[in-house]
Structure 1
Amino acid sequence: MASPEASEAHQAANLAKILPPEENTYTVTEQRIPMPDGIQLAADLYQPDLPANNNPRGLIYVLGPYGRKGVMALLNAKCFATRGYMVLFVSCRGTAGSGGTFVAAMTEQADSQAVVKWMREQPWYPGRFTTFGASYLGYVQWALLRDPPKDLIASVNLCSVYDHSLLAWTNGVYRPDRISWSYVVASQDEAGGGVVSSIPGLLKLKSVVDSMPLFDATERLFDGKAPYALEVMKTPNLNDPFWARAKHEAALDLVNVPLLLRSGWYDTLTVQTLAAYARARDRGVKVYLTVGPWTHVQACGSDAYPEVFDFLDEYVRGRKKDHRPLSVKVFVTGAEEWRSMPSWPPATEERTFYLYGDKTIDPQPPSADSPPASFTYDPQNPTPTVGGPLMVRGGRVDDSIYASRSDVLVYTSAPLEEEVEVMGKPIVQLAHSTDIPYADLWIRLSEVDADGVSHNLTENFQALDEVEQGGESSLSLVDRAHVFKKETCIRLVIAGGSFPLMARNPGTGVNRTQAKELKAVTHTVQHGSGLSKLILPCTS
């Protein structure tokens, strides 16, 4: 794994290639920002060195938990300060010299408002500001937007969520990557170089995630650090008061400034980014959306900065007008091209493909006697995650291995006679039952190329605990823009889990992070008369 210095050098070299040259030097001064409860947040104020009578182009406020050095300083402050912007880069409480204790997602609303109040009292404050940041640094922007400051003029929010409860317990399933994320943040100061230098410690996490009960192994690993992470594991009920301070969906109905949103088709946070886009768009907010063929880390990287600066030039500097007449830009895989459009998703028509008992897919429904198919999910030997929306080592991969596994159902169409262009959310409807009332579904849409190699496109999962036996299960997969070319095949993979993307369902009804006993579950899918189907949103 590359060192923090190597990572910073790589990002700096990339910025130098894709951005206009740096225009000025800058001065950095340390700040201590008092909070209402008496603690102080550590911050760095970047002020560009400009000729007399030249004002900074604007003030950018950044709040995050990953430190203020190295690549974090480069991407969140230095690149703006060297191009005429003033930046206030603040560390969340309990991180990088800030007082208090870091409790993920729980204090950002109050703390971000307190920073704004303090900022207004400073002699250098220009009277208005914009916010910037990716991932968790985007989440804190949504927290601030639950009560939008009147002097906030724009928000650049890359690859983030507005509700941390939905990130930890997604569709009823606990995400083990919350353990690794919490461990990295809790360990970064010890590592001495911020969040990047703490990542090698993740190697010890594999044995933890493999352990049962997951909660006990995590508690031993953390040894008193990040107790909030254990509370998250014990609280699957998202209506529990514990989660109240981590939910900022209300911001979607209050935001009233231009937004720049960005994500990737393999970003683990895509769902909330697209939901935020749709809510803001429907309210008439000026919102720009870019979605590329990226993982989370790729979508958050330096390649985003040309469009960031274009956005700032229009909404902060006031120079460029209508810099992007069509507000949505998506990468269409298969066609391997960028497309601009006025809204996402574009108008589509549903095309239905039916699942057959012989594991094929066809536009015509099968006969009534098409046989059912079954598979058994064993939590002691869980179906493995292969690529997809992982924080680390995810993305587009060869997932042909699923076709040879007995714990999945793999349906494949004949080679297509014409292109099929998908734009939006695929939907899978299954006539589905299980032999015990505690189970999960994981479904993936893939493409098989002319050489017989399968690659993943999109997926989703859902806890089905206490499902009605013999009922219908309907699952919307995550949005996708893809062209199935002629001679390729449509593939659907159905399993009872995907580990370690999903914490395994023990099959007993006990909280999956605390369960000791494990039971296998048999899933059965009915096919007769077209009961089970894949519905694709296709352009006409």
Structure 2
Amino acid sequence: MSVAQTQVCSAPAYEASVERNVMMPLRDGVRLATDLYFPALNDQKVDQKFPVVLTRTPYDKLGNDTTGKWFAERGYVFAAQDVRGRYESEGTFYAFAHEGPDGYDTVEWLAQQPFCTGKIGTVGASYCAAVQSALASLNPPHLAAMIPIYGPSSYYHCAMRQNGALEMRFFTYAFSMAARSREAAADPLLKQALDEAYEDVWAWTENYPLRKGNSPLRLVPSYEQWAMDISMHASYDDYWKQPGYGPRPYYDQHADVPTLYIGGWYDTYTRATVENFQEMSKRGDGPVHMLMGPWHHGGMGGAGTGDVSFKPDAALSDRNALFLRWFDHWLKGLETGLDKVKPVRYFIMGGGEGLVEASPTIEHGGKWATCDAWPPPNTTPTPFY
């Protein structure tokens, strides 16, 4: 049985009860808005302790509503949190860099609540994977399991910069996030200015580099400062060694907990996913697994990427069931069989019909394989330069 197979362990035995915008205090007094989803019966929260599954996001925690209720129905407290400075949370947003301490404080606060068994698991993709690695780099005592999906190892070396060369998509990311900022939501004129800037983002890209005060980002100074900082720090200095920019500098002190790294062959975090798996597999006792499918960023579990189809085998029928199996095993101690599977499951692309007459889709096909380590045995490195 593979880690990627969808085996439901905890059955849906509860209803879900939600408490919105619980303001969780941080060490510096800033409060983060957190939605808590509780197992319930007859419209009342169940008065017992449960493990907690946590996701932290800059993209509005309300997007996790369906997932939160799904986990609560299966005997977990699910915590969805807006990161500092986004949506309902207090403070000033500065992307990625400072997420480590905030995540650490969140894990430890949750662990001390009367509804928690003291075991916290984390899950999320992209930014929501980066915040997992950031808090794990500081090794909070009550972190018990992780599922980072499409997460960084070192943003300087890949994904934000490529061995130093800036990916301009992150420059444009500053404009996108500013247009959806808490500040913009509170001020229609500011919202209009930032929306127009994002709609014209390619003009700002052509005029790169950004100079302080010369774009509408000046209206949200922390967003402007972040865009300038990732542009100006061209060498691998201390700026890039902050926990929020990837766990590479912290592997030796990183939390030693069961971790499932998930990546895609068409993702910009492929290198990072493999590096994290390899490096963390060398350290500690916490089982480390990797699932690598033929997916693009944000397309985990799909059957195709662009015009290419990997049917019939590539698709995952139920992502939440995959996550549930991991958390059931490590947070609840259920016998899910994970201790009997190989730690790596990866998709080998190819073998399909290819171009089919009158079809816009390339039937590329493929199959799943497993192995104990990466790279797989009998692998031949092939340079393409």
Report how far residue 242 of structure 1 moved: 2.9
- The 5 A counterparts of 1:228-239 are 228-239=226-237
Report how far residue 160 of structure 1 moved: 0.6
Contact 1:163 1:249 in 2 (8 A): yes
**Whole-angstrom distance in 2 between the partners of 1:173 and 1:121:** 43
SS of 1:257 mapped into structure 2: coil
Aligned to 1:28: 18
- The 5 A counterparts of 1:46-61 are 46-50=37-41, 55=48, 57-61=50-54
**Whole-angstrom distance in 2 between the partners of 1:266 and 1:282:** 26
Report how far residue 153 of structure 1 moved: 1.5
Report how far residue 305 of structure 1 moved: 2.6
Q: Render the CA deviation track for 1:332-389: whole Å, top value 9, x for unaligned.
A: 1113111122222112254xxxxxxxxxxxxxxxxxxxxxxxxxxxxxxxxxxxxxxx
**Whole-angstrom distance in 1 between the partners of 2:7 and 2:379:** 38
Aligned to 1:113: 104
Aligned to 1:518: none
Q: 1:32 to 1:212 in 2, by over 3 A?
A: same
Contact 2:153 2:275 in 1 (8 A): no
Contact 2:49 2:115 in 1 (8 A): no
**Whole-angstrom distance in 1 between the partners of 2:133 and 2:301:** 17
Report how far residue 218 of structure 1 moved: 10
Q: Render the CA deviation track for 1:234-262: whole Å, top value 9, x for unaligned.
A: 111121x3333235324433331111110
Aligned to 1:156: 147
Aligned to 1:339: 369
Aligned to 1:296: 297
2:322 counterpart of 1:311: no
Aligned to 2:78: 87
- Paired letter, 1:290: L
Q: Render the CA deviation track for 1:427-484: whole Å, top value 9, x for unaligned.
A: 235xxxxxxxxxxxxxxxxxxxxxxxxxxxxxxxxxxxxxxxxxxxxxxxxxxxxxxx
Which deviates more from structure 2 when the two are superposed, residues 154-163 or residues 43-52? 43-52
SS of 1:155 mapped into structure 2: strand
Contact 1:48 1:56 in 2 (8 A): no
1:64 to 51, 57, 60: 57
Aligned to 2:276: 276
SS of 1:32 mapped into structure 2: strand
Contact 2:301 2:319 in 1 (8 A): yes
**Whole-angstrom distance in 2 between the partners of 1:255 and 1:26:** 31
**Whole-angstrom distance in 1 between the partners of 2:195 and 2:122:** 27
SS of 1:256 mapped into structure 2: coil
**Whole-angstrom distance in 1 between the partners of 2:118 and 2:51:** 10
SS of 1:61 mapped into structure 2: strand
Report how far residue 265 of structure 1 moved: 0.3
What is the identity percentage for the equivalent residue pairs of Structure 1 and Structure 2? Answer: 24
**Whole-angstrom distance in 1 between the partners of 2:266 and 2:235:** 27
Report how far residue 266 of structure 1 moved: 0.6
**Whole-angstrom distance in 2 between the partners of 1:55 and 1:337:** 43
Report how far residue 19 of structure 1 moved: 6.9
Contact 2:101 2:138 in 1 (8 A): no
Report how far residue 290 of structure 1 moved: 0.8
- Paired letter, 1:113: Y
Contact 2:133 2:246 in 1 (8 A): no
**Whole-angstrom distance in 2 between the partners of 1:215 and 1:341:** 46
Aligned to 1:145: 136
- The 5 A counterparts of 1:472-483 are none
**Whole-angstrom distance in 1 between the partners of 2:213 and 2:277:** 35
- The 5 A counterparts of 1:71-470 are 72-75=64-67, 77-166=68-157, 167-189=159-181, 203-209=199-205, 211-216=206-211, 220-225=215-220, 226-227=223-224, 228-239=226-237, 241-245=238-242, 246-253=245-252, 254-283=254-283, 285-299=286-300, 303-323=318-338, 325-335=341-351, 336-348=366-378, 350=380, 426-429=382-385
Report how far residue 217 of structure 1 moved: 11
Contact 2:348 2:368 in 1 (8 A): yes
Report how far residue 178 of structure 1 moved: 0.3
Question: How many aligned positions are there?
Answer: 330
Q: CA RMSD in A?
A: 3.1
Q: TM-score normalized by structure 1?
A: 0.56
Q: Render the CA deviation track for 1:391-413: whole Å, top value 9, x for unaligned.
A: xxxxxxxxxxxxxxxxxxxxxxx
Contact 2:197 2:216 in 1 (8 A): no
Q: TM-score normalized by structure 2?
A: 0.76
Q: Could you list the runs of 5+ residues in structure 2 that have no partner in the other structure?
A: 1-5, 186-193, 303-315, 352-365
Report how far residue 123 of structure 1 moved: 2.4
Larger relative contact order (CA 8 Å, sep ≥ 6): 2
Contact 2:50 2:115 in 1 (8 A): no
Q: 1:139 to 1:120 in 2, by over 3 A?
A: same
Report how far residue 287 of structure 1 moved: 1.2
Report how far residue 118 of structure 1 moved: 2.5
- Write 1 or 2 for the structure with the bigger share of helix: 2
Q: Render the CA deviation track for 1:172-215: whole Å, top value 9, x for unaligned.
A: 211011023222322224686xxxxx999865323333x13342
- Paired letter, 1:132: V
Contact 2:26 2:32 in 1 (8 A): yes
Contact 1:208 1:221 in 2 (8 A): no
Report how far residue 58 of structure 1 moved: 2.0
**Whole-angstrom distance in 2 between the partners of 1:212 and 1:189:** 23
